[in-house]
Structure 1
Amino acid sequence: MKKQNKWFDYVNVIFITFVSIICTLPLLLVLIVSFTDETMIKVNGYSFFPGKLSLDAYKLLFSGNSPLLQSYMISITVTVVGTALAVLITAMAGYTLAAKHVKYRNQLAMFFFVTMVFNTGLVPWYMMNTALGLKNTIWALIIPSLLFSPFNLFLVRNYMRQIPDGLVEAAKIDGAGDIFIAFRIFLPLSMPVLATITLFYGIGYWNNWFNAIMLVDNPSLYPLQYLLFKLNSEISMIQQMQSTVSGMSATQLPNESVKMATAIMTIGPIILFYPFLQRYFIRGLLIGSIKE
């Protein structure tokens, strides 16, 4: 029996290693292409063995007139502030729905569940944000996405439901109120699921460019994702116009390598952020999804 388990472990390790390599190769290819000369990309296509390396893509992105660093700061600020507020609101709502002494908590849960099925649409969303005066402010990138996701809410609620009632009763005997119980008992014991939804909210805020398209006209408030989207679009448009008017490209803009460089720059912070939450992620997702 032990030999069978060892063979299973060996096969499992080999299989996971193989899958990991397959998942890593596309990312490695994107990284290599971002440092490949544009002419070599046009001749050889995407290749793991570039004939000539170049920093033109990164020079273009970090040129003196590029607002890239400012957009990076906007995205980091929006992600940190928005994620912190969204996690706090979701945690408080989850505690409310998990606390057995709260009346009508099941009816409230049904109310939030309905929002997962039905959507009000784009026009009321835009009118509401405009009426709140969010347009062309940094809050336009935070508040519209701040309302917690019902999915994340139910993850937190189901996790908190498993906290023993004895802890709550003991705290109430000592005179503790809901705020003390929530922040000193429920939230510390719910760190795995809170770390999980932090990752969800963080990725959502970091990759969000829709709010900028709809609510922001000020270039100084463009987040990273929207700025890079505009940059790629403008490079493609310039190349098309040059090709149409003169029949040849007057300037060799690194179109393909810029696309790969922007991909590396956008996924970089997420890759660096994920390992800090990895030990909580699977545990919080599995336990929080269990329904009593």
Structure 2
Amino acid sequence: MEGKTAVVTGASRGLGRGIARALGSRGFKVYVTGRSADELSAAAQEIDSFGGKGVPVVCDHSDDAQIGLLFDRVKAESHRLDILINNAAAINARTLSAPGAFWEKPLDLADMISVGLRSNYVAAHHAAPLMIETGDSLIVNISFYGAVSYHYGPAYGATKAGNDKMTFDMAVDLRPHRVTAVSIWPGLVLTDMLKSISRELLPRKLVEDLPNFETPEFTGLVIERLWRDQAKLTRSGTTLISAELGVEYGIRDIDGKQPRLYTDTLGAPRGRFIFPGNQ
């Protein structure tokens, strides 16, 4: 499709940056957002090198006005939006993973509810009119197994569970307009930052398990295939696991492995939310 366009929020590093590279490899023009101009510029260059077109946009997703300007720019420059991937999150990894109960940790851990849940709502709010106009488009809210199992405490869990429920409700409103909204759980991801850490500084058990970690590109490849699925609207409102979609679509990771499911240890989606009038 000529001019196919995506927005990936929180794409200056980590999972978002890998997703953006994968979409670039499929010929997308990808708007990548984050707060670091240098990292976004490097991400955009990677997208270009993978065959797409990277557009870096500095955007603080705690600022509603900046999010609105982002989508104004997408509409003015590209006139369409095929995929929105909400991945931005205000996560301080050191504080989040530190030992202790939630009341013993800094209150700013709750910021991920603002940038990670509320910011996804704001992005979808601004993107929806253009995606309806584009037609057959896809909104993906990045979530995780922490929606149904304990991960890092209540702020993290509320953010992930909230994304899954918000996705369902968005889908109810969007379905008549043939815009699909899903929540996707990636697995454990071998980010560029994790790869750069000396193995001597990591726990032995983690080092042994690293070959099983997904590359950041894998979820992007799965999302692109879902977007091309002519039956994707039937999945709207559901929570999906990238590893399961990979098996269904016959997609392996870029290193050749079939990524692992963690449903036995970390939990599984609890199914569709049911409300009167839900089809």
Q: TM-score, normalised by structure 2?
A: 0.25
Q: Higher relative contact order by CA 8 Å / sep ≥ 6: 1 or 2?
A: 1
Higher Cα radius of gyration: 1
The structure with the largest helix share of the pair is 1
The structure with the largest strand share of the pair is 2
Q: TM-score, normalised by structure 1?
A: 0.25
